[in-house]
Amino acid sequence: MKGGQGLTKVPTAELETVLRWLHRGEMKPPLTRSFCLSSALPYLGENGDLVFGLDETALRAVLVAVISERRAKKA
């Protein structure tokens, strides 16, 4: 993780895209930097160290937690 920033620089839309792909079975973990960069997820590719290499259960948990937290802050 770069400087303890976690996923703060990754737009919510990119996180939602990965979660959608997981739900639809369109991608299989582990998530990698090269997959993100080749799949039009540039911010996640550059700043996703926190989620790279996680299994499906862990990846879903992190994505849901981050997305939920961001939505709660907007409300």
Residue range 49-59, pLDDT digits in tens: 999 999 999 99
Could you give the CA distance from residue 12 to residue 23 in angstroms, rounded to a whole number? 16
Site of tokens 């960069």: 37
The confidence score (pLDDT) of residue 74 equals: 86
The answer to whether the beta carbons of residues 50 and 1 sit under 8 Å apart is yes
| Stretch 23-48: mean pLDDT | 96
Stretch 36-60: mean pLDDT: 96
Question: What mean pLDDT, rounded, does the chain reach?
Answer: 93
Chain mean position to CA 66: 9
Integer angstrom CA distances of residue 11 from 33, 57: 16, 21
Return the pLDDT at 3. Answer: 55
Which residues does 11 contact at the CB level (< 8 Å), separation at least 6? 43
